[in-house]
Amino acid sequence: MPKGKKPRSTTAPHAAAARPGPEATRRLLVRNIGHLVTMDASRRVLRNAWVLAEDGWVRKVGEGRVPRVEGAEILDARGGIVTPGMVNTHHHMFQNLARAFRPISNLPLLPWLAGHIPLWRRFTPDDLFVATQVACVELMLSGCTMTSDHHYLFPRDGAGDVLDAGFHAAADLGIRYVGCRGSVNQPSDIMPEWSTQDLDVILADCARLHGRFHDARPGSMAQVAFAPCTVFGCSGEHYAESARLARSLGARLHTHCGETIPENRDAVERLGTRPLAYMARHGWEGDDVWLAHGIHFTDAEVRRLGRTRTGVAHCPVSNMRLGSGVCRVNDLRATGATVSLGVDGSASNDSGHLLNEARAALLLTRVQHGAGAMTPEQALELATIGGARNLGRSADLGSIEPGKCADLAVFPAEDVFSNGAHDPVHGLVLCHARNVDALVVHGRVRVRDGRVVGLELPPLLERHRRVARRFHDGVKKG
């Protein structure tokens, strides 16, 4: 946001959105920060630091003496490490209900997908609500302040306005949410007829959701992206029309691409071209497009992604779990493509811990290129700045500096797994991933003392377990 311009509050239909009104300025002072990882242009890490937020926006950042601020809410960071709120750029939250699902625990992508789709025949908006709440709690406790959710499951019978439940579940908890309206319009061996929809139904729902939930303004808490699932479930017309509609409305575009070799091979046999070229032919490249996984790209494809500024959501844990391969993170970054992180769905992760994803990205890139291939700071870049860029929010999110949203993850300085770490910031990534002490979203404390504010977690987890069992039992009964 330009200097001197008064930040606008958002009026999105979201519980955490700041609304204009006669009330006094809302101030939050975060003090006693041992290390403040700003992710600003010079990547400064401030010691003994503080952050002052006003009405959801960072007003001042400093080191040493803490200013006296009348009427400010105080958050004591207890000497901890503060990073910008992390951004999750790929997820399927409904899959929380198929975590460690034994029938598919040891399968690669396509049989794995075919193996869990039958679970969802009777999926309802209430099911998505509870799965989304647990998925969001996991993310918040792991430092995430903005998440996307690629939801492509719309059973033909009685699904109703499924993704609306995702928006409500996230709004309830106060996390920023990008609902990616997923879709499949071509039945296949993997996606049966009941899991597909006609293209006109899909596009109408995209437009409806956009009208209802999308807030394009700086500080937005809720946005909508359009997200056909993959080239094996979606026609060329589906891709082309989704892109046309998204661009007419100013929405972003998301899909899977290059996750496995069989998927690339199948596209060549069936469509006569590799998925990336196929998508490009239908308008799917540019800085308003981000692709999930992006593992199996040729050198020319990597250069093309860089040239067109098309983004990639790297999901290292899911890629390892499914044995899909290793994303060419450094090659992509070298060409100018934006790389961010995604936890991916919990049927293939099987936990949505975003800080752990940064650690996995570092380790996996080092497996590929050696110990110097990725620093802890670079892993944190993927989780913060990279995520903000891929979700189109680099102007207001991704770093802690005046004029940006006050989205902060407050991690304890150390825990038993990181005790005595020589460099606390390196320890945050190199040591076993820890949970936050506190989380601030748009200047509001959403996690305090390691707990989501206002949420009774045990009843939510009990309800989630019950729903998960219902799906598991449904499959057993056939």
Task: List residues binding Zn ion (CB under 5 A).
Answer: 292
Position with the least CB separation from Zn ion:
292
**Tokens (6 digits) for 456:** 């009774």
C-alpha 63: how far from chain center: 31
Q: Whole-number minimum distance, CB 292 to Zn ion, in Å? A: 5
Nearer to Zn ion, 84 or 258 (CB): 258
Q: What's the per-residue H, E or C state across 290-339? A: EEEECCCCCHHHHHHHHHCCCEEEECHHHHHHCCCCCCCHHHHHHHCCCE
Shortest distance, position 193 Cβ to Zn ion, whole Å: 22
Q: Where are the beta strands (DSSP E) in 81-152?
A: 81-84, 86-88, 144-151
Nearer to Zn ion, 292 or 429 (CB): 292
β-strand pairing of 27-37 with 81-84: parallel
Residue 351's Cα: distance from chain center in Å?
13
| C-beta of 89 vs 197, nearer to Zn ion | 89
Tell me which residue has tokens 């949203």: 405
What is the rounded CA–CA span in Å between residue 260 and residue 190? 15
| Residues in contact with 459: Cβ distance below 8 Å, sequence separation at least 6, in sequence order | none
As measured in angstroms, the least distance from the Cβ of 343 to Zn ion is: 10
Give me the least distance between CB of 344 and Zn ion, in Å please: 5
Q: By C-beta, is 38 or 255 nearer to Zn ion?
A: 255
CB of 85 to Zn ion, least distance (A): 22
Nearer to Zn ion, 318 or 378 (CB): 318
Cβ atoms of 378 and 358 within 8 Å: the answer is: no
ω before 287 within 30° of 0 (cis)? no
Look at the block and give the residue holding tokens 């920060």: 33
Question: Closest distance between Zn ion and the C-beta of residue 289, in Å?
Answer: 15
Rounded to the nearest whole angstrom, what is the least distance from the CB of residue 152 to Zn ion in the complex?
9
- Considering the complex, what minimum distance in angstroms separates the CB of residue 94 from Zn ion? 11
The residue whose two tokens read 């006609």 is 198
Which of these, 24, 23, 44, lies nearest to 35 by C-alpha position? Answer: 44
The dihedrals phi and psi of 343, each to the nearest 5 degrees, come to -80, -20
Q: Which of residues 254 and 333 has its CB atom nearest to Zn ion in the complex?
A: 254
Distance CA 5, CA 404 (A): 12
Q: Cβ closer to Zn ion: 93 or 292?
A: 292
| Comparison of 93 and 136: residue with beta carbon closer to Zn ion | 93
234 vs 447 by CB, closer to Zn ion? 234
CB 83 → Zn ion: shortest distance, Å?
A: 25
154, 209 Cβ separation under 8 angstroms: no
Q: How far apart are CA 186 and CA 441, in angstroms?
A: 39
